[in-house]
């Protein structure tokens, strides 16, 4: 196989290095899958290594299937004799052969999420733990995290015996695992957990797999968690023929257990390891890659490397500072149409990347008005999300009590002890008397076989709905939504939830309030009926039926969902401090580094054109707030950026004020004051300022002291203005100093210099 003519120099070096530990640092768009497949083909065809001696592990079934197809195309059907599979699939094969050594039968069942929740509820019932205190999802999340960290039920119990809540979870974990074994079942996390246990405790089994797999390859190594890391560590024999491929700069899944130190410490784990850097990018134009390099080099936890390309420099990165979030969305829509007209591109050539799913709503609305077809990748359209449909069902029912579908959706949301059996009895009674279900529950005492507890719960629901109906014509739609969120306890339940996905649900609900506020501002008919009609008409028929048209749509997605994808034109939207990077990043060095890696991933999705947009003001939970442009924008050289549209002079001023010196600015302990009063202040108050409409731009231009501006203090050093207030005629500013925490100063008297 003539690898020298098939691969570039670095790719070829990686493909022919077969013996000993090898770390392939594969930058974005550098052709790592090509290298892996040719490496396997070289091993089989040129070195006569039998395919069954090779283990190649990927993270997804799709990646495994693609790799197997490409290897088969190079070497033929002999490729079917090697293991190319995911971590979990590989572990299943090992456990099917050896799990009897752990006291299980080889015909064990693998439980899905539904089975897991059923078993967790059974455990909670036996332990007399109330579902109001702990949810099954929270428990499963904690157990999953423990298994990914290789923490057994007994160790988890011992570590948390003094924490009341976690001790309860530990009791459930112990019983849950006992019942799993009694049922001869494993859950998804057990597949790796038990495989590690098996290999650790059975030398004969470990020896067998050492002899079987002489060569091991792992893709996306930067995304491995502790359990996956340990599995690979065990499978590698004394010859250490281990090849891992990954990019520490693209480690963006810490929230689900990925540990970037696994790839950073590879050379410590395997002394003498060879490192090959794949730095030639085949995807993007030069300016885009240079910008990505300039951003990511500010991270301290990374391997030194830089992407390069033989392509032309291409356009500069376009910066657009919108007046509002709505202006931002309209700009993106108009820009897409303009580019399509001038460059003969299709809708599928464009992608909108945002930090949070809730940001899609305003772009969806703008695109519908502009007749731009779109699809949400890796998520639901805004009004298809569960939490949005729940609140909309409340609005629909109070607008139309005849709507049985809406009633059945929310009569027990949040939980009110009105179960499915009770709802069925209400439905049957309503059918018998030929009335809607709401009419039936108005006379709940006449519904047969309901318990006193059922009746009481239903009466409370009726009272709640009647109160909503009484005021629906007296208050605005946004106030009505806030009332639902507050009076039902829906928002509080999400805010106090321990389930990770509920944080994004809170953001989505806040966006719904903002949508209602915008409706009230722009609509002549401000009634609830008009709002519901607008949503229904706007949400229906969004996906054209023609399959070709479905393919030709603008892609909208979070940056996490965009990993592995590429588009000719990319819009990075909402690039503001407090959004991207998020609030929590400013108080946590590790989170800030992950946010910067996420920014790097976003930039490197673009092939030809990159737009970075932000807004002077945006609606958050019905309030207009203003955020400074993202610090990440300032990490890109001036020569690579071009400000387009809007007030260019104003944008230049804002960006200069926001210019930073990285990476020193992100002190992991310096941004929050130790002062108790200041420490308890919500981070958002330090990063945003509430304003009224167009006053935001006017206020920010009146004074040089603005939120987000960098300053230098004679004693405290460099800092950022995070809040401004007035007291007895003085202007007070709170400054987050890089090394001194937050200090509140009188503007006129403080020895500060605006940077």
Question: Confidence class of residue 495 from pLDDT cuts 50, 70 and 90?
Answer: confident
Residue 695 pLDDT more than 90? Answer: no
Q: Annotated catalytic, 135?
A: no
Beta-bridge partner residues of 691: 624
Q: Which of 605, 609, 657, 665 is catalytic?
A: 605
| Three-state SS at 223 | helix
If we measure between CA atoms, which residue out of 266, 245, 218 comes closest to residue 10? 245
Question: Confidence class of residue 686 from pLDDT cuts 50, 70 and 90?
Answer: very low
Q: Annotated catalytic, 283?
A: no
Q: Annotated catalytic, 32?
A: yes
**How confident is the model over 47-62, as a mean pLDDT?**
92
As given in the structure block, the two tokens for residue 428 are: 């049957």
Residue 226 pLDDT more than 60? Answer: yes
Q: Annotated catalytic, 605?
A: yes
- CATH value of 9-100+194-278 in 3.40.718.10, 3.50.50.60, 3.40.50.300, 3.40.50.11540: 3.40.50.300
The predicted-structure confidence for 631-640, as pLDDT tens digits, reads as follows: 999 999 999 9
Annotated binding site: 26-33
CB environment 658-694: b (16+ within 10 A), e (fewer): bebebbebbbeebbbbeeeebeebebeebbbbebeee
- From start to end of 174-225, where are the E strands? 185-186, 215-218
How much is the pTM?
A: 0.70
Q: Which of 135, 177, 222, 250 is catalytic?
A: 250
Q: Which pLDDT score, from 0 to 100, does residue 520 have?
A: 87
The predicted-structure confidence for 133-176, as pLDDT tens digits, reads as follows: 888 888 999 999 999 999 999 999 999 999 988 999 999 999 99
Question: Confidence class of residue 273 from pLDDT cuts 50, 70 and 90?
Answer: very high
Q: Name the average pLDDT for the chain.
A: 85
If we measure between CA atoms, which residue out of 283, 314, 191 comes closest to residue 562? 283
Annotated binding site for ATP: 26-33
The yes/no answer on whether domain 109-183 falls in CATH 1.10.287.1060 is no
Q: Annotated catalytic, 233?
A: no
Alpha helices in 613-694 (DSSP H): 631-634, 648-657, 676-679, 683-687
Residue 198 pLDDT more than 90? Answer: yes
Q: Which of 10, 32, 58, 247 is catalytic?
A: 32
Stronger pLDDT, 199 or 380, i.e. the higher one: 199
- What CATH code would you report for 382-499? 1.10.486.10
Q: Annotated catalytic, 122?
A: no
Question: Confidence class of residue 737 from pLDDT cuts 50, 70 and 90?
Answer: confident
Q: Highest-confidence range of 111-115, 215-219, 468-472, 551-555, by mean pLDDT?
A: 215-219
The predicted-structure confidence for 556-576, as pLDDT tens digits, reads as follows: 999 998 988 999 999 999 999
The predicted-structure confidence for 387-446, as pLDDT tens digits, reads as follows: 998 999 999 888 888 878 889 899 999 988 898 899 989 988 888 888 888 988 998 888
Least confident of 232-236, 262-266, 502-506: 502-506
Q: Which of 13, 219, 223, 248 is catalytic?
A: 219
Q: Which pLDDT score, from 0 to 100, does residue 677 have?
A: 35
- What CATH code would you report for 308-378+547-643? 3.40.50.300
Query: 740 and 754 in contact (C-beta within 8 Å)?
Result: no
């Amino acid at each position: 196989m003539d690898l020298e003519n098939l691969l570039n120099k670095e790719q070829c070096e990686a493909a022919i290095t077969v013996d000993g530990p090898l770390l392939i640092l594969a930058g974005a768009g550098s052709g790592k899958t090509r290298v892996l497949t040719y490496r396997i083909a070289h091993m089989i065809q040129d070195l006569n290594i039998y395919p069954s001696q090779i283990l190649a592990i990927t993270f997804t079934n799709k990646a495994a299937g693609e790799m197997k197809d490409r290897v088969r195309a190079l070497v033929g059907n002999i490729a079917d004799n090697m293991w190319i599979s995911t971590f979990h699939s590989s572990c299943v094969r090992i456990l099917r052969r050896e799990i009897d050594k752990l006291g299980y039968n080889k015909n064990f069942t693998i439980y899905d999420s539904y089975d897991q929740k059923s078993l967790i509820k059974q455990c909670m019932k036996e332990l007399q733990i109330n579902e109001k205190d702990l949810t099954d999802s929270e428990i499963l999340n904690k157990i999953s995290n423990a298994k990914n960290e290789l923490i057994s039920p007994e160790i988890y119990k011992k570590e948390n015996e003094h924490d009341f809540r976690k001790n309860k979870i530990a009791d459930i974990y112990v019983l849950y695992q006992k019942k799993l074994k009694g049922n001869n079942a494993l859950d998804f996390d057990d597949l790796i957990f038990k495989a590690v246990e098996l290999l650790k405790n059975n030398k004969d089994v470990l020896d067998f797999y050492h002899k079987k797999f002489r060569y091991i390859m792992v893709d996306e190594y930067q995304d491995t968690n502790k359990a996956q890391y340990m599995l690979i560590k065990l499978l590698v024999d004394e010859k250490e023929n281990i090849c891992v491929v990954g990019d520490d700069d693209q480690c963006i899944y810490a929230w689900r257990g990925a540990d970037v130190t696994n790839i950073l410490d590879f050379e410590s784990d395997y002394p003498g390891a060879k490192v090959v850097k794949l730095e030639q990018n085949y995807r993007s134009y030069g300016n885009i890659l240079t910008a990505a390099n300039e951003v990511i080099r500010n991270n301290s936890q990374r391997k030194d490397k830089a992407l390069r390309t033989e392509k032309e420099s291409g356009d500069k990165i376009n910066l657009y500072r919108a007046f509002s979030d709505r202006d931002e969305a309209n700009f993106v829509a108009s820009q897409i149409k303009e580019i399509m007209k001038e460059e003969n591109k299709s809708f599928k050539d464009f992608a909108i990347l945002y930090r949070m799913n809730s940001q899609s709503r305003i772009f969806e609305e703008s695109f519908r008005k502009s007749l731009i077809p779109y699809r949400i990748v890796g998520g639901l359209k805004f009004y298809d999300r569960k939490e949005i449909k729940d609140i909309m069902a409340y609005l629909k029912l109070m607008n139309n009590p005849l709507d049985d579908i809406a009633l059945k959706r929310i009569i027990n949301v949040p939980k009110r002890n009105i179960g499915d059996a009770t709802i069925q009895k209400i439905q049957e009674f309503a059918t018998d008397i030929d009335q809607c279900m709401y009419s039936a529950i108005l006379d709940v005492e006449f519904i047969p076989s309901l318990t006193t507890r059922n009746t009481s719960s239903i009466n409370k629901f009726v009272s709640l709905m009647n109160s909503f109906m009484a005021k629906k014509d007296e208050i605005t739609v946004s106030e009505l939504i806030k009332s639902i969120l507050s009076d039902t306890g829906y928002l509080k339940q999400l805010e106090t939830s321990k389930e990770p996905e509920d944080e994004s649900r809170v953001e989505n609900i806040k966006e719904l309030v903002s949508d209602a506020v915008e409706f009230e501002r722009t609509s002549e008919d401000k009634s609830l009926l008009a709002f519901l009609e607008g949503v229904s008409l706007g949400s229906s028929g969004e996906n054209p039926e023609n399959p070709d048209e479905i393919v030709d749509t603008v892609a909208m997605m979070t940056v996490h969902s965009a990993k592995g994808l590429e588009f000719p034109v990319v819009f990075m939207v909402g690039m503001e401090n407090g959004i991207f990077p998020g609030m929590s990043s400013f108080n946590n060095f590790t989170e800030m580094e992950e946010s910067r890696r996420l920014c790097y991933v976003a930039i490197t999705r673009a092939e030809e054109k990159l737009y970075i947009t932000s807004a002077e003001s945006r609606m958050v939970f019905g309030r207009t707030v203003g955020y400074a442009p993202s610090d990440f924008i300032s990490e890109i050289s001036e020569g690579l950026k071009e400000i387009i549209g809007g007030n260019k002079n104003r944008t230049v001023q804002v960006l200069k004020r926001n210019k930073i010196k990285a990476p020193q600015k992100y002190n992991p302990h310096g941004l929050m004051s130790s002062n108790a009063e200041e420490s308890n202040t919500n981070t958002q108050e330090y990063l945003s300022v509430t304003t009224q409409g167009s006053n935001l731009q006017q206020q920010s231009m009146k004074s040089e002291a603005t939120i987000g501006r960098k300053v230098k203090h004679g004693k405290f050093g460099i800092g950022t203005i995070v809040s401004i207030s007035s007291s007895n005629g003085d202007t007070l500013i709170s400054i987050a100093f890089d090394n001194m925490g937050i200090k509140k100063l009188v503007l006129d008297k403080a020895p500060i210099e605006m940077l």
